[in-house]
Amino acid sequence: MRVVGALACLLGALGGCRTADPPEVQEPAGGEVTVFVHGMKGSFLVTEDGERAWLEASDLLSSGERSLALPPGGEERFGPLHPRGVLTRFTLFPVLATADVYLPWLEYGKERLPGFVPFVYDWRIDAREAVLSLARRIEALAAKRRGDLRVNLVGHSLGGLVALAYVRYGGGDPERGITWAGARFVKRLVLAGAPFGGSPSFLRDILLGDKIGRNVRLLAPEAMASFVPSYEILPQPGTFFVGGDGAPLARDVDDAKTWESLRPGRRPPAGALEARLAFRKALAASASAPEPPGDLAVLVVSGTGRPTIRRVLLARPDDLGSADFRSSPTTSGDGRVTEESSLPPGPLVYSVVKTPADHVGLLNDETVQEAIRSFFAR
């Protein structure tokens, strides 16, 4: 199948099948930096030998052979993978098909935002690991400046959850309560399309996989089901399922029994539901939490006007595999995350900028970009 993809590129127009490399970003020298945290599927993944497993433009042109699934069911063909650069742009046959992911935002950040630094992580593993890695990255930036550092932190989608968790706890243990340790350095926080209330549409990815172009193997259901963040990004219990009459169903995605109707390769891996509970608890609203520091300002970017699933319809209440996503109730959002879900939990105080852009393109909207630049300049 990879041969078919390569031939398709060869037969295209000159340079017809390309994956844009991330813009080269210099290590910031000043005391103000802008750290960008991408969302799920948002960074390139490479093998030990440097082969790009996720994602080349040629991968979009065939049904695919290899999967990104984690062990025990995956990685036999790729082996261990490592993040290397933020996903950019894919061009298939110039003029006819170009798909932007983060490239316009990366270019804008490099040119217009102070000390722009992308932070990459393996979005297939527990998001709590990404929080700790982000803490180490910011601590390293601060150490080079003897602690004199101001951070503008921008998180998109899953990256927004990671960003808020860092601001709440730094690299500390959430079980000890909110400390706002990350706000020692973070003074401006942007949360774009972050599913604080969860995103039911990610259940579709787990059950049906995520088709990328013509490729159905890289993110097959067995792959999506093996990623811990697939579960960490789902909504809270009691807000998820409805029956054919529209009434809520008492199904709990935190209960392993809910997943028993699926075949073993498509059930949560060991520890995934426990990780989900811990991560969602760390991000929950808290009336007892101390007020955030007065110098921490927060801007929320919400997509609006696109039908977005807010509940999942189960045709058969006891069968998760009977989920009917076409008939599931929707509300306004960015196509992935509803407007309501994108609002962060208390006790944060924030302002909101809305955009008609879809979930992937929220930060590529020029109006949003300028709003973020103005926000940082305050």
pLDDT at residue 163 is higher than 80: yes
pLDDT of amino acid 96: 55
Q: What is the pLDDT of residue 332?
A: 98
Structural class in CATH, domain 30-43+101-377: alpha beta
Taking 70 as the threshold, does the pLDDT of residue 85 lie above it? Answer: yes
Which range is least confidently modeled, 11-15, 73-77, 320-324, 341-345? 11-15
pLDDT digits (tens, 9 = 90+) for 273-294: 999 999 999 999 998 999 999 9
- What is the reported pLDDT for 18? 87
Which whole number is the average pLDDT over 307-325?
A: 95
- Model confidence at 1: pLDDT above 80: no
> Is residue 5 scored above 60 in pLDDT?
no
Residue 221 in contact with residue 208, Cβ under 8 Å?
A: yes
Residue 95 confidence (pLDDT): 52
Confidence of residue 235 (pLDDT cuts 50, 70, 90): confident
Q: Please tell me the predicted confidence (pLDDT) of residue 99.
A: 87
Half-sphere exposure of 294 toward its Cβ, with a 13 Å CA cutoff?
Answer: 0
SS3 331: strand
pLDDT at 181 over 90: yes
> Nearest-5° angle of CA 84, CA 85, CA 90?
115
Averaged pLDDT for residues 328-357: 97
The amino acid at residue 288 is: S
pLDDT digits (tens, 9 = 90+) for 46-60: 999 999 999 999 898
Whole-number pLDDT of residue 174: 97
Q: What pLDDT shows up at residue 91?
A: 85
Instruction: Say whether pLDDT at 13 is over 50.
Output: no
Q: What is the pLDDT of residue 26?
A: 85
Q: What is the pTM of this model?
A: 0.94
The average confidence (pLDDT) of the chain is 92
pLDDT at 22 over 80: yes
Give the pLDDT score at 165.
98
H-type helices in the chain, by residue range? 2-11, 103-112, 127-144, 158-169, 201-208, 221-224, 229-232, 272-282, 366-377
Mean pLDDT of 242-259: 90
**Is residue 350 pLDDT above 90, yes or no?**
yes
Is 187 a residue whose pLDDT tops 80?
Answer: yes
pLDDT of residue 4: 41
Place of tokens 């699934």: 69
- Token code pair at residue 24: 């080269």
Mean pLDDT score, 85-109 = 87
Distances (CA, A) of 102 to 3, 36, 86, 89, 251: 28, 11, 7, 7, 36
Q: How is residue 66 written in tokens?
A: 């290899």
d(CA 305, CA 154): 23
CA distance 112 to 95: 27
**Least trusted range by pLDDT, from 70-84, 223-237, 297-311, 332-346:** 70-84
Q: How is the chain split into domains, by residue range?
A: 30-43+101-377
Q: Which residue has the higher pLDDT, 103 or 61?
A: 103
Which helix or strand (DSSP H or E) is residue 333 part of?
strand 330-333
pLDDT in the model for residue 76? 67
Residue 7 confidence (pLDDT) above 50: no
pLDDT value of position 11: 41
Query: Distance between CA atoms of 29 and 144, rounded to whole angstroms?
Result: 9
> Given this model, what pLDDT does residue 6 score?
44
